[in-house]
Amino acid sequence: VSVAGKHAVVIGRSKIVGAPMHDLLLWNHATVTTCHSKTPDLPEQVGRAEILVVGAGRAEMVRGEWVKEGAVVIDCGINHIPDETRASGKRVVGDVHYASANHRAGFITPVPGGVGPMTVAMLMEV
């Protein structure tokens, strides 16, 4: 996926995910908007994103209908929500509502199984 010239939205401003992703995207010539949980027009900002990176720490806060058709969605969230069908009584979800965003996104990382394993794989290459 080419980053240069794309409009990227990063939700989250942490030193672990949000700030580094903002810088990486900017250094690779994307136009970057950083948002957070208190951004008043968050759905509108998300709707402009050709690349969306979410690391806000809120379970399924980004709804699929907010996502621009064909956008690249990178969900860095790891959240536990109640699920009585599981032995543990909970399940892991991201910050993006995967079931609804999957229909609009061109590419989307699953949670679990997306960003975490890729990070480990890249670190093992170094």
Q: Which two tokens stand for residue 29?
A: 């010539």
Q: How many residues in the chain? A: 126
- Please tell me the pTM assigned to this model: 0.91
Res. 6: pLDDT tops 70 = yes
Q: Which two tokens stand for residue 123?
A: 């670190």
Closest by Cα among 47, 67, 61 to 93? 61
Q: Please give the Cα distance from 46 to 55 (Å, whole number).
A: 13
Report residue 115's pLDDT band, with 50, 70 and 90 as the boundaries: confident
Exposure on the CB side of residue 94, measured as CA atoms within 13 A: 28
Element (H, E) at 116: helix 115-125
